[in-house]
Chains A and B, each alone.
Chain A
């Protein structure tokens, strides 16, 4: 019996825009895939890129960071820093051989419930194409 691989995506959503956007998707009954596991942070600038690495290590098949659009950050500049960090971490992980489709970032504002659903769809599609994350996943079984 074969089950289609369902990736686990860990999403770091900023409280003011992206999390509210996700919430709007929910209240509008917009269907978005259940593969995403959301962690609310106050700002995308709070996200340490090593969280992404840690998530992949603990078994996430994909990660997503989502913040306010540039210029609209609730804390004015957090998303600019996050943008720089993410760009570099994406390149680094690509160089290590991690499929680039696993590491995603998006700008989702509080009114973009539909966009959030699209972003999740895209992340899940990319992670499905990449397959289960096995490269530097913690080996729990064969210690």
Chain B
């Protein structure tokens, strides 16, 4: 269990230092089953910080999201650090960003929080209805308690938590400067059973499935923007010279967009599932990413976001890499 007071104290301590310019954590949302990420710049705002099962979002996305304006002449750039609170899955994003040298280890202060799972809003709304008021949640053993409309309601973890939580391999942060709370024991493993199931389909059926899914896509690019690993300044889909993907939303361009994104995440996707959570038309984006995650593990024995010392998957090779289909 995470003690909120301890969390706020630590945040106060970190933010009070001269070397930190912002702290990213979660605050209570304005409605419903999800908290809101918050960016704090001043110690006085620390009281907003919380941590419970509503803290779904991945704050690691905000580290690379910070826009740095050109520095006026005579001024020095602000080289202070960013402090970020991360759950287990979020810390993988930090690790992978460090592997890719998005920033130096010294540029961030990581406040790790061992996590027992976060609520899937869609499941919660089916069970308990929508809530105009922000919901407070707590995890006790195998149950999750939520306060909705003044009443306390309980659900089994497996019925209300996100799918990713029920197969979480890394509930404890993999990198941290401070650990806020007791480490939790791993309760699940990931056999990639869903990928195996999907692979049983014949190609025609697979395409039929994706045809239906990709036809729904409105190319809002929310999946790309929320992804902690999508931080290119100029994304391939917005390039116009040359133009890889047209902006029109027909099945051809939509499919190619999703293939492009899954491809660019090969060996980099840390499975925070944010892309699937935010999609307004419920496209099962992770089905593509998980296939590559499993294949990367099997073929190259590599898992992104676990070891800070590792090399990016596609920036290295081994002489005995698999070459099954190569003639």
From known contacts A54-B244, A92-B263, A92-B288, infer whether A136 and B252 are also in contact, taking CB-CB under 8 Å. yes
Tally A residues with Cβ within 8 Å of B: 40
B interface, how many residues as a size bin? 35 or more
Tell me, yes or no, whether A42 is within 8 Å of chain B by CB.
no
Neighbour of B251 across the interface among A90, A97, A136, CB < 8 A: A136
Q: Is the beta-carbon distance between B207 and A50 smaller than 8 angstroms?
A: no
Interface of B is mostly: helix
Tell me, yes or no, whether B232 is within 8 Å of chain A by CB.
no
Q: Is the beta-carbon distance between B250 and A87 smaller than 8 angstroms?
A: no
From known contacts A135-B255, A136-B252, infer whether A104 and B325 are also in contact, taking CB-CB under 8 Å. yes
Tell me, yes or no, whether A95 is within 8 Å of chain B by CB.
yes
Q: Is the beta-carbon distance between B299 and A138 smaller than 8 angstroms?
A: no
From known contacts A87-B323, A87-B324, A135-B211, infer whether A92 and B256 are also in contact, taking CB-CB under 8 Å. no
Residues of A within 8 A of B325 (CB): 87, 90, 100, 103-105
Neighbour of A105 across the interface among B209, B256, B327, CB < 8 A: B327
Residues of B within 8 A of A138 (CB): 252-253
Which positions in B face A, CB cutoff 8 Å? 198-199, 203-211, 214, 236, 244, 250-253, 255-256, 259-260, 262-263, 266-267, 287-288, 291-292, 295-296, 299-300, 313-314, 317, 319, 321-327
For this complex, 6 residue pairs linking A to B, each with C-beta atoms less than 8 Å apart, are A84-B300, A91-B291, A96-B207, A97-B204, A106-B326, A136-B251
Which positions in A face B, CB cutoff 8 Å? 49-50, 53-54, 57, 70-71, 77, 80-81, 83-100, 103-107, 119, 122, 135-139
